[in-house]
Amino acid sequence: MNKVYPDAKAALDGLVFDGMTIMAGGFGLCGIPENSIAALHDTGVKDLTVISNNCGVDGFGLGVLLDAKQIKKMVSSYVGENKEFERQYLEGELELEFNPQGTLAERIRAGGAGIPGFFTKTGVGTLIAEGKEHREFDGETYIMETGLTADVAIVKAWKADPQGNLMFRKTARNFNPMMATAGKITIAEVEEVVGLGELDPDQIHTPGIFVQRIVKGEFEKRIEQRTIRERENA
pTM of the model: 0.92
Percent of all residues in the chain with a pLDDT value above 70, rounded to a whole number? 100
Q: Which pLDDT belongs to residue 221?
A: 76
Provide mean pLDDT across the span 164-175. 95
Provide mean pLDDT across the span 65-81. 93
Strand partners, 5: 215
The full 3-state SS of the chain, as one line of letters, equals CCCEECCHHHHHCCCCCCCCEEEECCECCECCCHHHHHHHHHHCCCCEEEECCCCCECCECCHHHHHCCCEEEEEECCCCCCHHHHHHHHCCCCEEEECCHHHHHHHHHHHHCCCCEEEECCCCCCHHHCCCCEEEECCEEEEEEECCCEEEEEEEEEEECCCCCEECCHHHCCCHHHHHHHEEEEEEEEEEECCCCCCCHHHCCECHHHCCEEEECCCCCCCCCCCCCCCCCC
Q: In Å, how far are 89, 110, 230 from 167, measured between CA atoms?
A: 36, 21, 35
Backbone angles phi, psi at 70, to 5 degrees: -90, -15
Question: How far from each other are the two terminal CA atoms of the chain, in whole angstroms?
Answer: 57
pLDDT, the chain, mean: 94
Q: Which pLDDT belongs to residue 219?
A: 85
Residue 234 pLDDT > 70: no
Closest CA to 52 of 74, 84, 81, 80: 74
Q: pLDDT per residue over 134-161, tens digit each?
A: 999 999 999 999 999 999 999 999 999 9
Q: pLDDT per residue over 38-60, tens digit each?
A: 999 999 999 999 999 999 888 89
Task: Please state, in angstroms and rounded to a whole number, the distance separating the CA atoms of residues 37 and 65.
Answer: 8
Q: Which pLDDT belongs to residue 14?
A: 96
Residue 13 binned pLDDT confidence (cut-offs 50, 70, 90): very high
What sign for the dihedral angle of Cα 62, 67, 69, 75? positive
Q: Which pLDDT belongs to residue 233?
A: 76
- Cβ within 8 Å of residue 210, ≥6 positions away: 112, 164, 180, 181, 186
- Cβ within 8 Å of residue 201, ≥6 positions away: none
Q: Which pLDDT belongs to residue 159?
A: 97
Residue 171 pLDDT > 70: yes
CB 157 within 8 A of CB 207: no
